[in-house]
Amino acid sequence: MLKHVVVIHYSQTGQLTRAAKSLVQPMQTSGCKVSWINIEPITPYPFPWSLRKFFGVFPDSVLGITPPIKPIETELIKSADLVIIASQVWFLAPSLPIQAFFNAMKSEPQNPLRGKKIITLFACRNMWLKAFQLLKNMIFDTGALLIGNVALVDKSPMWASFIMTPRWLLTGKTNQLFGLFPSPGIKENQLADVEKIGTSLINRPSLHNIGFSSVEEKLILPEWIARSIFLFWAATILKIRQLDSRFENIFLTGFVVTLVLSILFLLPLILLSRMILRPFLKPYLNKIVLNLSSTTTGVSHV
Ligand SMILES: Cc1cc2nc3c(=O)[nH]c(=O)nc-3n(C[C@H](O)[C@H](O)[C@H](O)COP(=O)(O)O)c2cc1C
């Protein structure tokens, strides 16, 4: 039976906070103490974002160049018997505040996460696989034990969320458009499913075999290829920033153009090639799905 759960989180719009609240609600009702640790960057990220700031965090997110954050109450973490790490995805990586949290824990005399049971919770547009893999490595490095992952994604068609999520992030607007583009973000019925997962966690040691599965195999190739492209652009932009920061904007524009062209042309091509090459790629894709599913309980399809 759980006694003390600590939720470590950061959220700009409150979406991830709502998801985390749904997960811990049943635990709280059952008498478990729930503590919240809000990661606060010293210089807050804006919401809504300006285009410059939005793409400005791209190289840092991809390369793990983290911002300074306010001190974390590590004693709370030490006294927890379950830690929930709630992360959004920024450019296929855990968001910078979450990466900053892990960096801050590294400089503690003894990492407070060592030996702790951890559940990760994602709420994002729909590409979280690579970010989860990176987060898993960060958790592994602390000596903590990852016992499950819950992933919540926007259930709109991918083409719609590629328009509506940036619109939301850059303007703050969440209304649907022309009856064609649904409003972005996680919906209430998905949160109800997260509560069910929270209930099942009260008396279980892990999320294995609960019966949800959400690793979308079709997104593996696009994410893996996009991450390689991101790494190239992020490293190039960083180099330019160090040489002469006046030219950074030019290279960021180059990245944005590549991104838009990739979404329009490369992504459909990758999805099509995957269908054709599936028999040959299957063993490789299965291995990745297995690796990601081993700690994944998702509610993205329910
Ligand atoms: C800079 C930035 C980059 C993002 N990149 C991704 C991404 O690669 N994949 C994805 O599924 N969502 C992405 N998102 C959406 C976020 O994961 C998240 O859903 C959204 O920012 C709302 O989160 P919050 O209000 O809880 O912080 C991105 C958001 C931001 C601000």
Instruction: Indicate which residue's Cα is closest to atom 29 of ligand 1.
Output: 90
The pLDDT score that the predictor gives to residue 202 is: 86
Closest ligand 1 atom to Cα of 153: 11
Which of 88, 121, 169, 227 for a ligand 1 pocket mutation test, highest count of atoms within 8 Å of Cβ?
A: 88
Cross-strand pairs, 5: 34, 82
Burial status of residue 25 (CB atoms within 10 A of its CB: 0-12, 13-18, 19 or more)? middle
| Residue 290: predicted pLDDT | 87
CA nearest neighbour of 5 among 117, 98, 137, 166:
117
Residue 157 CB-density burial (10 A; 0-12 exposed, 13-18 middle, 19+ buried): exposed
Atom nearest to 15 CA in ligand 1? 26
Q: Whose CA is nearest to atom 5 of ligand 1?
A: 90
Nearest to 87 by CA among 63, 136, 123: 123
**Residue 227 in contact with ligand 1 by CB distance below 6 A:** no
Tokens of 206: 């892990």
User: What is the model's pLDDT at position 1?
Assistant: 82
Look up residue 264 and give its DSSP letter.
Answer: I
Q: What is the pLDDT of residues 81-119, one digit of tens each?
A: 999 999 999 999 999 999 999 999 999 988 999 999 999
- pLDDT value at residue 243: 95
- Distance between CA atoms of 222 and 229, rounded to whole angstroms? 11
pLDDT < 70 regions, the chain = 205-213, 295-302
Q: What residue's CA is closest to ligand 1, atom 16?
A: 124
Axis-axis angle for helices 129-142, 96-106 (nearest 10): 10
For ligand 1, the distance from its centroid to the CA atom of residue 295, given in whole angstroms, is 22
Contacts of 111 (CB under 8 A, 6+ apart): 105, 142, 143
For the stretch 38-87, pLDDT in tens is 999 999 999 999 999 999 999 999 999 999 999 999 999 999 999 999 99
Q: Which two tokens stand for residue 236?
A: 């190039």
DSSP 154-185: --S-HHHHHHHHHHHHHH-----BTTTBPPPS
Give the Cβ contact number of residue 29 at 10 Å. Answer: 12
- Mutation pick for ligand 1 pocket among 87, 89, 183 (CB with most ligand atoms within 8 Å): 89
Q: Report helix, strand or coil for 35.
A: strand
